Structure 1
């Protein structure tokens, strides 16, 4: 269950028949929410989520304003 949203994001964002740049910010946000630890997680899952969260939070930061604009203007 932990990796399923990553598979979905990879499948959608790797589409070759349609532009996907407008989806990057939204999927990054969803993945960050997914890997944020909660009280129901075991200690091991919490540690894995923390590592994944740390990595996700550093991705696309330099172009984030551009990604937000792309999301806003995408019909």
Structure 2
């Protein structure tokens, strides 16, 4: 579902968007989704810093170790 909205933006921002894309709506939606993700990440970081989990470091190290891939040494 989507909700139509009308937004007024400065001319220079409209020119920037028009230069970057042919679809203003898609551009604005992507920018807003990006900002929403960024804010969620910031909130998660703040939450983790406020109440650190003592087992998190060990879990993260195990995940990194399990997924780490070394570069092939090809000569």
TM-score (norm 2): 0.31
Determine which structure has greater relative contact order: mean sequence separation of CA pairs < 8 Å that are 6+ residues apart, divided by chain length. Answer: 1
